[in-house]
Amino acid sequence: MTQQLILYPLLLQLLLAILLMFFWKRIGAQRVISILGSIVHLGVSIGVFAYIWNNGTQTVQAGSWEAPFGITFIADTFAITMVLLTSIAGLAVSIFSAGSVISDRLRFGYFPIFHFLLLGLTGAFLTGDIFNLYVWFEIIIISSFVLITIGGEKAQLEGAVKYFTLNFLASMIFLTAIAVLYGLTGSLNMADLANKVAAVENRALVEITAILFLIGFGIKSAVFPLYFWLPASYHTPPSAVSAIFGGLLTKVGVYALIRVFTLIFVEDVFLDQILLVLAIFTLFSGALGALVQNNIRKVFSYLIICHIGYMIIGLGMFTEVAIAGAIFYLVHDILVKTNLFMVSGLIYRIKGSNSLRALGGFYAQYPKLSLLMFIPLFSLVGIPPLSGFWPKISLITASFDTGSYWSLAAIIFASFITLVVIAKLWAEVFWKDAQEIPVKPKFRYYHKIKKIKRIQIIVPIVFLSMVTLYVGFGAEHIQTLAARIASELIDNQLYIDAVLNTQISE
């Protein structure tokens, strides 16, 4: 039974999605199933995480086809950490959706598609086969297309056209890269590829393939100069959808980048230089973009781009300390970004606007909620001891170690600008005097909705804030986790051995 343990999170999401389809029109039942299912999923993920933590990397060969011939599923510490984070964010957004997404939208299969999205994410983290990764990416983007268009407002459809086009292009570039890689090596298994790519004579072609992967995943993770679809689309759907997109969708691109560039294309100075340069530009352009926006959700969209830079810069420096910093940042960023978009949803629900100019007086009217929102906002800035502070120590140490002073400058600059942006946001939304906002007659304001809905909106924000506080105050534990992941990633032989030397048990 323990052989297939790592597939449980995957199968549970699939089961949930299918089960929800049987309740297509009954949204009350869907809400309950989705929330309960997500709680169970979190429990299962914690269980599997504990098992991997104690027993090391586990693999499953689909249909007992021995690697490298069949499809491999592998859970090392990195993959299972991502699965755990997915289920934490998934639970929060599931509850938040039940409270905040209007039933006109839920009626068109919101919850089943939402769980298909989580299924795709879980699959992408667990797979050990590059083509299978492509298939999971497609499941993710098809679900995300539906979620971004559900409701069909003008801005949504316009955002969706841009989002669709760029993501389709990214998939095609990814597919092209897989085709070239298969032509070079005749293999699709990532561990097998790691061995075979190292032996390929034609280094120029390997480098070009690596660049194709970089572009494909770069579009998905919104790296400079490929990020323009993100601020054009992430603020258009309901905030629950933005929350899961902002928290997890770009991060799966980062996960794929880290996986491919630590396992298959390693020890390539040229590529590391490119990654560093891209990361520095991503940090600068994201930060400066956030500075001039007026819509809260657009500010957060640009901050997503900016903070992707921290993870890529860690990958670019390619030392154990730097990668540990990048992983820690990834953990922190998923929790905080998901939470921030939910916070923007709550503000919108209360005031009926997300414009910085129109908002104001939040602190005077809602002191307790403001205090709650303080946690994710200032965790993002990284005021010690909140969670954003700790990974930057590792990243800055690493940039001294590698003598990469441009990276150092970019890290400090971006975190300074993040501080300015959040301070500006705090001053505008919370401290400024309340402004007159025209009342929308049909809009369901926070004080008009039922108490149960209000709880459903507040609870996930509290939940994620608690987890964020844990990441900040229990940084020691996360640092241990990140260090272990980084050492596993640097020493990729462990991964290769785990896949290729598995004994098939009946």
Partner 1 sequence: MEVLLAIIIGILYAAGIYMMLRRSLVKLIIGIILLGNGANLLIFLLGRITEGAPPIIPGESKVFLEAYADPVPQALILTAIVISFGLQSFAIILVKRAHKVVKTDDLDEMNATDEDS
267-306 residues near partner 1, rule: CB under 8 A? 294-295
Q: Between 279 and 429, whose beta carbon lies closer to partner 1?
A: 429
**Residue 225 found at the interface with partner 1 (CB under 8 A):** no
Task: Work out the end-to-end distance of the chain between its first and last CA atoms, rounded to an integer number of angstroms.
Answer: 11
Label residue 67 exposed, middle or buried (CB < 10 Å: 0-12, 13-18, 19+). buried
Q: Which is nearer to partner 1, 212 or 461 (CB)?
A: 212
How many CA atoms, within 13 angstroms, populate the side-chain half-sphere of residue 330?
Answer: 35
**From the list 60, 119, 140, 160, which residue makes contact with partner 1 (rule: CB under 8 A)?**
160
Tokens at 440, concatenated? 């929308």
- Of 29 and 180, nearer to partner 1 (C-beta) is 180
* Stretch in the footprint of partner 1 (CB under 8 A) among 74-82, 168-176, 397-405, 445-453: 168-176
Smallest separation (angstroms) from partner 1 to the CB of 47? 32
Residue 187 vs 418, nearer CB to partner 1: 187
Tokens representing 186 are 């005749």
Stretch that binds partner 1, among 32-40, 154-162, 440-448, 468-476 (CB under 8 A): 154-162
What stretch of H or E contains 59?
Answer: strand 58-61
Does 162 bind partner 1 (CB under 8 A)? Our answer is yes
∠ CA 335-457-114, rounded to 5°: 65
**349 sits near partner 1 (criterion: CB under 8 A):** no
* # chain residues binding partner 1, by CB under 8 A: 39
Can you tell me the distance from the alpha carbon of 174 to that of 133, in angstroms, rounded to the nearest whole number? Answer: 10
Q: Contacts by 373-378 with C-beta closer than 8 Å and gap 24+?
A: 373/343, 373/346, 373/347, 373/430, 373/461, 375/465, 375/468, 375/469, 376/336, 376/339, 376/340, 376/343, 376/461, 376/464, 376/465, 376/468, 377/340, 377/343, 377/422, 377/425, 377/426, 378/422
Pick from 178, 271, 342, 481 the residue near partner 1 by CB under 8 A.
178
Which of the 8 DSSP states describes residue 60? Answer: E
Tally of CB atoms within 10 A around 119 = 25
What's the number of CA atoms in the CB half-sphere (13 Å) around residue 494? 16
- Using CB under 8 A, which of 164, 363, 374, 413 touches partner 1? 164
Spatial CB neighbours of 442, under 8 Å, sequence gap ≥ 6: none
Verify binding: residue 413, partner 1, rule CB under 8 A. no
Asked if 355 is part of the footprint of partner 1 (rule: CB under 8 A), the reply reads yes
Give the nearest distance from C-beta 183 to partner 1 in angstroms: 3
CB of 426 to partner 1, least distance (A): 20
Nearer to partner 1, 135 or 277 (CB): 135
Contact residues: partner 1, CB under 8 A:
131, 135, 138, 142, 145, 149, 152-155, 157-162, 164-165, 168-169, 171-172, 175-176, 178-180, 182-183, 186, 188, 232-233, 235-236, 294-295, 354-355
